[in-house]
Amino acid sequence: MCLFCKIANHEIPASIVYEDEFVMAFLDIAPVTQGHTLIMPKKHYDDFSLCSSALVARMHGISKLLIKHYDPLLHPNGYNFLSNAHEAAGQSVAHVHFHLIPRYDDEDGLNLSFNGRPQHKLNDKQKEMLKIK
């Protein structure tokens, strides 16, 4: 059983900030900023493509609820909302989850930058191929 499934089953402790029948949100054990929260389905999915659209929408809805709750308490300047899908993207626990990361300033310990990276532009044929029809 994966680490997040153990948290969902209350087999190991976590600082849970939200829980319902399908979704759980808890504070990251190694937060990059104050209030760094993980939002996950309680049922194990190791790939977003296996989650229903309704479940993903519910997880996004919980992030909105948490933002409204966190704003007057933590006073962040903004939020990053991200997911690392699969090991190549930096996913360390193979259980679908989103990171809700309150941002405070440029010195808050998180650097997300696309500047200075090689650009991988698509040609017209590739762009057309990627369209959902």
**How many domains is the chain built from?**
1
In a domain, 70, yes or no: yes
22 in a domain, yes or no? yes
Instruction: Report if residue 123 sits inside a domain.
Output: no
Positions marked active-site:
97
| Domain CATH for 103 | 3.30.428.10
Question: Which DSSP string corresponds to 8-58?
Answer: HTTSS---EEEE-SSEEEEE-SS-SSTT-EEEEESS--SSGGGS-HHHHHH
Mean pLDDT of 25-30: 91
pLDDT tens profile 99-110: 999 998 766 666
Residue 26 CA to residue 16 CA, distance in Å, equals: 4
Domain span including residue 97: 3-111
In a domain, 125, yes or no: no
Q: Give pLDDT, residue 1.
A: 76
What pLDDT, on a 0 to 100 scale, did the predictor assign at position 4? 87
For 39-77, write each residue's pLDDT tens digit.
999 999 988 888 899 999 999 999 999 999 999 999 999
Instruction: Copy the structure tokens of residue 65.
Output: 């609820």
> pTM of the entire structure?
0.81
